Structure 1
Amino acid sequence: MNPQLSLIFKQLNALILGKEAVMKQLLACVLARGHVLLEDVPGVGKTTLAHGVATVLGLNYRRVQFTNDMLPSDLLGVNVFQPNDGRFVFHPGPVFHSFLLADEINRASPKLQSALLEAMEERQVSIDGKTYALPKPFLVVATQNPGEQLGTFALPESQLDRFMMRLSMGYPTAEAELQLYAGGDRRRLLPKLQAATDAETLLQWQQQVAEIKLSAAAVQYVYRLVQATRAPGRFAVGLSPRAGLAVVAAAKAWAFIEGRAHVLPEDIKAVWVAVAAHRVQALQAQSHSADVLTEMLAHVAVG
């Protein structure tokens, strides 16, 4: 692991206690040019983590609290008429930030969700027939609280597929929670975080990740895992080729974090559930998709 990445993880581990695995997966998603859906109960540090990641990466950050009365123009921007010179001037919206935190995305109307997810996919927005490129790099971290129904609009499967990973922070360990109570709110540490890199360096890292080698054996392993999700009796619908490509990209990023120029089976296993679980639905009512996917790792041959 290079020194800049080490400094990134050191600062994040001090900010959010006991969540090293989630941070590593989130960073892998960033390096793979993916977007992240953080799904968890309120109060476990989703917003603090997102703000911290943006800070240590040196990216301009904006948080948007989604509500059901927000319009697409509130997010994307709007053309405003200037009476002095008789022309319209585009005022960019919050989406024109390198790191956008879409808080409680399931409270946004389907129209607003669609506008955001189109921007995520195309990395550009069209306003009144004119196209505006989004900054590079561009990352969306969206949050939602599981199980909430009142006043929410669930993301359809086609839109969930636009997120490379779905992550859950979970409750802290007993040790971390005791340390939290003794030390106070971790958000007070946010102003003390230092940028360990910048947008230009992150773009270089993303390019290096894309160039990491994937052996024929690793390709076959990803293929067998994806094919296993399509076998009768496991899931309503198996993983698509796009999901397989996301597994490959995330595994390359994991290898990069580990300081390697090639992908090992362990890299694929490390990202498999985070990339795949939100794209499939277990057929058995008592089963969770993540559990079925984890079980598959024990049964699908590596080589």
Structure 2
Amino acid sequence: MLQAVPTTSELTELVETTDQIRAGIETVVTGRSEIVGITVAVLLAEGHLLLEDVPGVGKTTLAKALARTIACSVGRIQFTPDLLPSDLTGVNIYRSQTHEFEFRPGPLFAHIVIGDEINRASPKTQSALLECMQETQATVDGKTYALPRPFLVIATQNPVEMEGTYPLPEAQRDRFMARLTVGYPSLDAELDMLDLQETADPLGALRPVTDAAQVAQHVATARRLYAAPGVKRYVVDLVTATRGDTGLRLGASPRASIQLLRAAKALAAMSGRDHVLPDDVQRLAEPVLAHRLIASTEARLSGRSTSDIVQDIVARIPLPSSSAAPRERRATG
């Protein structure tokens, strides 16, 4: 079904909102503008985000800062080995006064769900997220409940401390649109951090700049951006290349193609454009694809990570010959 590309006013409003969100987050998370930008793009693309890094670099702070900039419901989950699926989705409680069961929703019934140390939960509990992240719904005792929209899961995990953890299965990792590594801040950024947090927590001063309804409108706007056939073919070429690379045991799924294009549309919309460029795809290729791949034994022994392999693929796949989106063209939804 063909839909008109976003109007100039729609894009202007989207850019203003996302700029305010980014500015708010950057008052708390200093020196990481690229990571903040991709985080907001994942929100606009209605995906989910995995933050993977060592303790203390600001993974949870980034997630909480994003939630604070939007007037919406927020669920917080501290994953532990004894956590049950019902602790996430909710339970039915019998009310003796009415002689009926009443559903009490869990923390997953929120617009933004922050999951801390997701790999500490058992596989059974992790599996409770699969339906929620893919279908935006939860099934409890045979009854299906819709989750609020927009719906974003931001999960953190520590890749270093593996004792007492359960690595995320491939099906779970594939449901995260992007994986980001926060990394250590630069010297200047860390000095700024000391100044900001010397006497107070900057999170406490963060105020919402938008609400869930407006974010949902911007999500719909970003979906309507035009992607030329050459750009779509470029996305498919990148994903297909991962399936035949000798350095990989497992390539990216078709879901990766869909999510890479959606994320590229969101990034283009944040730049005020009504069409996607190959640059948008290249910028997101590593965050969107690398965590879905499994390196071969030979690649691991030679010290090549999946991120390295994705970068090599991006370098060798030729760009589309024509990628500009004429103003009169119409974009598919």
Q: TM-score range by the shorter chain?
A: over 0.9
Q: 1:78 to 1:131 in 2, by over 3 A?
A: same
In structure 2, C-alpha distance between the alignment counterparts of 1:76 and 1:59, rounded to whole Å? 18
| Corresponding residue of 2:325 | none
- Map of 1:144-159 to 2, 5 A cutoff? 144-159=157-172
Q: State the 1:186 CA deviation.
A: 9.2
Deviation at 1:147, TM superposition (A): 2.6
The structure-2 alpha-carbon separation of the partners of 1:126 and 1:192, relative to structure 1 and needing over 3 Å to count, comes to same
Per-residue deviation, 1:145: 0.2
Query: For the residues of structure 1 that align with 2:209 and 2:291, how far apart are their CA atoms?
Result: 31
8 Å Cα contact 2:59-2:156 kept in structure 1: yes
Query: Hey, what does 2:109 align to over in structure 1?
Result: 96
Which residue is 2:249 aligned to? 236
| 1:142 aligned to which of 119, 141, 155 | 155
1:6, CA displacement in angstroms?
Answer: 1.7
One of 11, 15, 18 as aligned partner of 2:31: 18
Does 2:311 align with 1:300? no
Structure 1 residue 183: deviation in Å?
A: 3.4
Cα distance in structure 2, aligned partners of 1:296 and 1:225: 7
> How far apart are the structure 1 equivalents of 2:182 and 2:36?
9
Query: What TM-score comes out, normalization by structure 2 length?
Result: 0.88
Q: Which residue of 2 aligns with 1:219?
A: 232
Q: Aligned-pair distance for 1:221?
A: 1.1
Alpha-carbon offset, residue 187 of structure 1: 7.2
CA distance in 2, matches of 1:79, 1:143: 29
Aligned length: 303
Deviations 1:198-218 (CA, angstroms, capped at 9, x unpaired): 111111111111111110110
Gaps of 5+ in 1: none
Identity among equivalent positions (%) equals 44
The CA distance in 2 between the partners of 1:186 and 1:171, in whole Å, is 22
Work out whether 1:56 is the aligned partner of 2:69.
Answer: yes
The 5 Å alignment of 1:112-261 reads: 112-184=125-197, 188-261=201-274
Provide the residue aligned with 2:305 in structure 1: 288
- Cα distance, 1:231 vs structure 2: 2.2
Contact 1:180–1:186 (CA under 8 A) maintained in structure 2: no
Report the 3-state secondary structure (helix = DSSP H, G, I; strand = E; otherwise coil) of the residue aligned with 2:319: coil
Q: Deviation per CA, 1:253-272, whole angstroms, max 9, x where unpaired?
A: 11011111100011001111
Pick from 282, 289, 300: which aligns with 1:276? 289
The runs of 5 or more residues in structure 2 that have no matched partner are: 1-11, 321-333
User: Partners in 2 of 1:8 and 1:209 — Cα distance?
Assistant: 16
Q: Deviations over 1:27-63 (max 9, x none)?
A: 1111111001111111111111111101112222121
Q: Quick one: which amino acid aligns to residue 231 of structure 2?
A: A
SS in 1 for 2:201: helix
Structure 1 stretches of 4+ with a deviation exceeding 4 A read none
Shift in Å, 1:232: 4.0
Q: TM-score, normalised by structure 1?
A: 0.96
Aligned-pair Cα RMSD in Å: 1.4
